[in-house]
Amino acid sequence: MVDQDIIKLRLEELKKVAFTVVNAADSLKRLDEIEIEFLGRKGKITAIIREISSLDISLRPVSGRHANAAKNDVEDLIKRKREEIKKKTLDLSTVRERVDHTLPGRRISSGSVHIINQVISEIAEIFLGMGYRIAEGPEVELDYYNFEALNTPEDHPARSLTDTFFVSEEVLLRTHTSPVQIRYMEKHEPPIYIIVPGKVYRRDYDVTHTPMFHQIEGLAVDEGIRFTDLKGTLEHFAHQFFGENAKMRFRPHYFPFTEPSAEVDISCVVCSGVGCRVCKNSGWLEILGAGMVHPNLYRYVDYPEDKYSGFAFGMGIERIAMLKYRINDLRLFFDGDIKFIKQF
């Protein structure tokens, strides 16, 4: 039979030992170990509590109260010590990582829309304001749409391997956005007023050329469209994009898919037409090619040539951006230089 006084004495001794080791603990890990040692399922105080069942039934309540009191005292001490260690750890962390609110904050770099996309959006906004719609087409194109249906003869230099990226004999990376003209007219009846922004590909790479660049194609097909409509449309664009003082001129040119054709210049954005190094003292800068849609194209889309007429134009986005923002190297658009990109 276990003696009641012996149990009480053992509980007092264990409590003193527990208080000593708890007060000496310097980490939460050590406290967890102490808690298991004294109060765990196989702990020292837990073992004594189990022995109380061996006492006479009349003695159990008193011994039980002593055991529970010792257990609660140790639990409370461990709890207080745990909070003390947590606070000390937090205080030390605060000292090490103290924030001085008087110091200036760190600026977070923010992203922005790339200058090419900005220019595309600005141009698109101008033509959308004139009632045009945006159309798209595949970048991997058929020879039929890229050349044949655009009235480009087989011996044309653009169809050579030195100028065009051919995937196969009939498949290539489009060299301009003009194939969308045919694709769109195949599926839609006039009136048609569209612009086509997109990437195009040619075998070239230097200060003024890259293998991939961006164009915006424009197409208008309707009854009674004349060359003066083309001129008025492009003058409105030039004034909106380059400013009201921008002047424009048309020079005769040749494109297989337009007749008559023209290259379009604006007055130099640097010298305002006086003459400088940028415009080679001519006072003019070329911005795009344009012309009336060649009647042969209507045959590929089954449009009656005697009923409809139209015009088309195409401009290089990089060139337009270079002129407006006075950028002297086309490769800057693709180099990923953050300092360059942040300027815009």
Bridge partner residues of 134 (DSSP): 195
C-alpha pair distances (Å), 157 with each of 160, 164, 251, 334:
6, 9, 22, 27
First CA to last CA distance, the chain: 92
| Overall pTM > 0.75 | no
Bridge partner residues of 285 (DSSP): 266
Q: What is the pLDDT along the chain (344 residues), one digit of tens a residue?
A: 456 677 778 878 888 888 888 888 888 888 888 888 888 888 888 887 777 777 777 777 777 777 788 888 888 888 888 888 888 877 776 666 666 667 787 777 777 788 999 999 999 999 999 999 999 999 999 999 999 999 987 776 666 656 889 899 899 999 999 999 999 999 999 999 999 999 999 887 666 678 889 999 999 999 999 999 999 999 999 999 998 988 999 999 999 999 999 999 988 877 877 888 777 888 888 889 999 999 999 999 999 988 999 999 999 998 898 888 888 777 788 887 888 888 88
Q: Which two tokens stand for residue 21?
A: 């080791």
Homologous superfamily of the 115-342 domain (CATH) = Bira Bifunctional Protein; Domain 2 (3.30.930.10)
Spans of all domains in the chain: 4-96, 115-342
Amino acid at 60: R
Closest-CA residue to 11 (of 58, 53, 65): 65
C-alpha pair distances (Å), 74 with each of 14, 38, 220:
10, 8, 90
